[in-house]
Amino acid sequence: MAFSNLTLTRYSCRDYQNRPVEDEKIAQIIEAGRLAPSACNNHPTRVIVCDTPALKGKAAKAAHHFAKDGSVFGAPLVLLVCAKEQVAWTRKYDSMNAAQIDSAIVTDQMMMQAVDLGLQTCWVCHFDPRIAIDEFDLPQDAYPIHMLTVGYAADAIAEPEKRAERTIAKEDFLNVRA
């Protein structure tokens, strides 16, 4: 699928079919994230694949507002994306650490790969990282940044007019002063 079609097809799916994501597709999604660029090739991102009831339940505890059917939005697959800030490149001028940027690039590449495979996703940041740390017994140097739910959609993308209402106007997008 052309990238321009991916950007039009992808949406925040919040209802999934009770159908597992095939192992081959999971492997392709993970590989897309693994190959993602990072600042100075430091690769500070780590991913936990939540595809069992126990792991999806842990993710749902952290994202309790979106818990459904023992998972987040009922998704058959949740990817917990963590960052190791000590591994990430840091800009010398203002000490900006690239870990969050790098993990966002990984998440984006996995998201677009999933859509290219006929799946849908929802990028979730509204979760309690402390609960995720405890539930997944994360090491002290790994901080949970994102969750990506993945599966076969049980809902549908909004009509183009509705999508346009929720999208920034081009003149505002291109105007830093707006």
- Domain-located, residue 40: yes
What are the beta bridge partners of residue 46?
82
Q: Are 26 and 77 in contact (CB under 8 A)?
A: yes
Tell which residue, 18, 7, 134, 140, has the closest CA to residue 71: 18
- Domain-located, residue 47: yes
CA distance 77 to 148: 8
Alpha-helical regions (H) of the chain: 3-9, 23-34, 53-62, 99-116, 129-136, 160-165, 170-173
- Domain-located, residue 178: no
pLDDT at residue 178, rounded to an integer: 63
**Each residue's pLDDT tens digit, 144-153:** 999 999 999 9
CA distance 109 to 34: 9
- Domain-located, residue 26: yes
Range of the domain at 72: 3-173
User: Is pLDDT above 90 for 138?
Assistant: yes
pLDDT at residue 163, rounded to an integer: 80
- Domain-located, residue 34: yes
CATH classification of the domain holding 123: 3.40.109.10
Instruction: List CB contacts of 67: < 8 A, sequence separation 6 or more.
Output: 60, 61
- Domain-located, residue 64: yes
Would the pTM of this model clear 0.85, i.e. be above it? yes
Residue 146, H or E segment = strand 143-151
- Domain-located, residue 144: yes
Looking at the 3D structure of the chain, how many domains does it have?
Answer: 1
Share of the chain above pLDDT 90, in %: 85
pLDDT at residue 72, rounded to an integer: 98
Highest mean pLDDT among 44-48, 165-169, 170-174: 44-48
- Domain-located, residue 117: yes
